[in-house]
Amino acid sequence: MKQTAILLTTLFLILISCTSPAEESLFDRLSLEEITIDQLTEGYENGDFTIQQVVEAYLQRIESIDRNGPGLNAVLTINENAIEQAAELDSELLEGNRRGKLHGIPILLKDNIDTYDMPTTAGSRFLEGSVPPEDAFIVKELRKEGAIILGKANLSEWANFHSSFSSSGWSGLGGQVNNPYELSRNPCGSSSGSAAAASANLAAITIGTETNGSIVCPSNANGIVGFKPTVGLWSRTGIIPISYTTDSAGPMTRTVRDAAILLGVLAVTDESDELSLIAEEHIQTDYTTFLNENGLEGKRIGFFTGPMGNHFRVDSLMYQAVRDFESMGAEIIEIDQIGTQNIGGDAFRVLLYEFKDGLNKYFESLGDNAPIRSVEELAEKTRELAIETEQFDRSLIFQAAEAGDLDSEEFITSLENMLTQSREDGIDRVMDEHNLDAIISPTGSPAWKSDPVMGDNFRLSSSSPSARAGYPIITLPMGNIDGLPVGISIFGRAWSEGRLLEVAYAYEQGTNHRLVPQFLD
């Protein structure tokens, strides 16, 4: 069956390459642009199209737009079994069986999320061809729900924790991801491929991961909805880590409703993840119940002004968003700071220690087939392979290799201070003092030009308060600057996903700022 699937996929891609550019694509014939989970599900039930047709259409679109055509370079690996799996799901539907809310929904995963049938590489040359022994916990849940894993998305290598500076969206294995709005622009990182793919309609939905900004920043730059939930709401088992304390996977979609659907599907307790066990009492099985068009009425919203003043046109969009919030019934309270101390140094030390510990455990999980056994070995091989330090210095890998273990007093002190200052003395304190439902702030600036020589040109960010606390944050479009999207972030207390979705949905429905990319060169 596997050889048959490979042959079918190869023949299909040959047919794609022979199709005249003027001929309407299967993707267009099926009207899949901007299609939602609900619309796909309804189309399957009504017989408007089959799951196999939809999967073929997305594979064709990946080939024509990502691999050729504009050349987004957002997809690293294609699932060679996708068409065969789609046919199986079609058969199940004909028999009256629907696995779950994602039956037949095509999805792309960031390539630091384990899949038993495809390599998982984090974009590193050293993990090229590394196929883990089993799926990540969330991937097992996706398959149970009937989702089709189309493939793996390119990313910033090691989730952008490798060098003192870098170009977001670049990996040694996959190269540079490009922004679908203007191809010379950067997609931001590290979930760059997931964001670009979702925005360019290369899949119905995608999943990224975030430590600090790696979901919300690329969602900002690529004009989509990105949601990092409270750390622990989604299992991290089988995901190549940076930080046990602050890592989480999350939805990257074109609508708030799709993010809410995906959030609920994967909010499942995992006994292998201790923080997931803590999340159990907070889990909602259906987050779409929080979606309310009038959800801003009577809300007290904090406006975090710290990131303002770095780009006057972003400021103008943000002030318009504030007026929109007020017109929809919210009361706005300006907040100039959230934390009372600068904890950047503590947060960085936590990342170094936890990156080493987590990566060593991940390498161990690969068993006898692990191409790398430890972070120390990774550092050694990085020094030996000239191409590895040809473009970026890899200083974070070298620093992590020299870090101690998690019993270190330096680590324990840094972790305690980071959590206290970001939680009790940070977000929780501010929200208590002002009786807030949520906090808003600009997510970032418009996408900058990709620059492999000088690296990223970040102008502003608002992700650190929630990231260091391990608290939830959602971003969605609030407008554009010369055709480049800019997002607004909404964040709050631990386990406040429902409240954040309510606020985000009301704003989305009242403004509708999503802009379909045109792949300008």
Catalytically active residues, by annotation: 110, 190, 214
Instruction: Identify the DSSP state of 392.
Output: S
Q: Where are the beta strands (DSSP E) in 391-483?
A: 438-442, 473-481
CA angle in degrees (0–180, nearest 5) for 222-179-322: 30
**Separation between Cα atoms, residue 100 and residue 443, nearest integer Å:** 33
- Cβ neighbours around 305 below 10 Å, total: 15
Amino acid at 306: G
Q: Is 498 exposed, middle or buried (CB count within 10 Å of its CB: 0-12, 13-18, 19+)?
A: middle
Rounded Cα distance, 428 and 432, in Å: 6
What distance in Å separates the CA atoms of residue 96 and residue 436, rounded to the nearest whole number? 47
Q: How far apart are CA 223 and CA 168, in angstroms?
A: 16
Per the listing, tokens 């418009």 go with 446
Q: Are the C-beta atoms of residues 501 and 291 closer than 8 Å to each other?
A: yes
Of 217, 122, 220, the C-alpha closest to 476 is 220
Distances (CA, A) of 239 to 85, 153, 348, 498: 23, 14, 20, 25
Decide: helix, strand or coil at residue 117: coil
Q: How far apart are CA 463 and CA 128, in angstroms?
A: 31
Distance, in Å, from the CA atom of 445 to the CA atom of 123, rounded to the nearest integer, reads 25
Is 243 within 8 Å of 468 (Cβ atoms)? no
Distance of CA 42 to the CA centre of its chain: 26
CA dihedral 381, 385, 386, 391 (to 10 degrees): -70
